[in-house]
Amino acid sequence: MKFLRDNIVAIAALIVSGLSLWFAIDAQNTDREYKELGIVPHISDSKFATELSFSFKNRGIGPAAIKWVKYFAVKGCNDSKLMSAKDWAAQHLEIEYQAVSDFLDDVFSVQPDNVLKDKTININAMQPGSIYAAGDKFTVFAVLEARDIFKRMNENRSSRVLGRFAMLDLPFSLEYCSLTGKACFKFNTDYIDEKCKSK
């Protein structure tokens, strides 16, 4: 009888120890999840119509890692997920330039004169794997002669161009994640996916 009672006490102690360990691990995992949510990145976008430029800023409190980028141009779509890293590295500037150039041609389609003929577009290509710290600002593209272009137009035409620039969706989408990869966010994906399907 004493042997049976000792075994029951030992098994009960083992069960209590196992449950205590399980609760401790679960509490630690929950704590880790809360900490990871506390360092989530948040990329916000800014269009500057008078400068014909577009920028991102990481307004979150954690670094943002670019996972993939997809561009839409008149000739078609280019997706970093569908290209090898070597091919993307070799072609990304040309891909982004074409997408931005087509976007600006669309913006200026309300302007009959060819004021964009001699434009210089400053491109900063978004690369999968790039990391932007909290507070980092990143200019995706800017037309260097934007102010001169607007000076050559009358007020009515420049207002139409500025309005169209503000209204049009950008020619790219992307996904970015926290460094742990637990929190991921997408930018402009529905619009670009729809445009690419129509091609």
Are both 25 and 74 inside the same structural domain?
no
Q: What is the pLDDT of residue 67?
A: 93
Asked if residue 177 and residue 96 are part of one domain, the reply reads yes
**Residues 77 and 150 grouped into a single domain:** yes
Task: Measure the CA–CA gap between 40 and 68, rounded to whole angstroms.
Answer: 18
What is the per-residue DSSP string for 65-110? EEEEEEEEETTEEEEGGGS-HHHHHHHHHHHHHHHHHHHHHHHGGG
Give the pLDDT confidence score for residue 186 in this predicted structure.
92
- Cβ count near 192 (within 10 Å): 23
Answer yes or no: do 26 and 101 share one domain: no
**Residues in the chain, overall count:** 199
pLDDT, residue 64, reads: 93
Instruction: For residue 68, list its beta bridge partners.
Output: 175
**Confidence tier at 3 by pLDDT (50, 70, 90):** low
pLDDT digits (tens, 9 = 90+) for 62-76: 899 999 999 998 888
Cβ atoms of 14 and 6 closer than 8 Å: no
Range of the domain at 12: 1-37
Domains contained in the chain, number: 2
- Would the pTM of this model clear 0.85, i.e. be above it? no
**Same domain, yes or no, for 181 and 158?**
yes
Q: Please, which pLDDT band fits residue 153 given cuts at 50, 70 and 90?
A: confident
In this structure, the answer to whether residues 165 and 139 fall within a common structural domain is yes
The reply to whether 112 and 152 lie within a common domain is yes
- The CA-atom distances, in angstroms, between 73 and each of 47, 97, 98, 104 are 19, 9, 6, 11
Do 84 and 28 lie in a common domain? no
Going by pLDDT thresholds of 50, 70 and 90, the confidence category of residue 115 is low
Q: What is the pLDDT of residues 125-148, one digit of tens each?
A: 778 989 999 999 998 888 888 888
Is a pLDDT exceeding 70 seen at residue 36? no
Together in a domain, 14 and 98? no
Residues 140 and 58 both lie in one domain: yes
- 199: pLDDT strictly greater than 70: no
Same domain flag for 154 and 121: yes
Q: Are residues 74 and 156 in the same domain?
A: yes
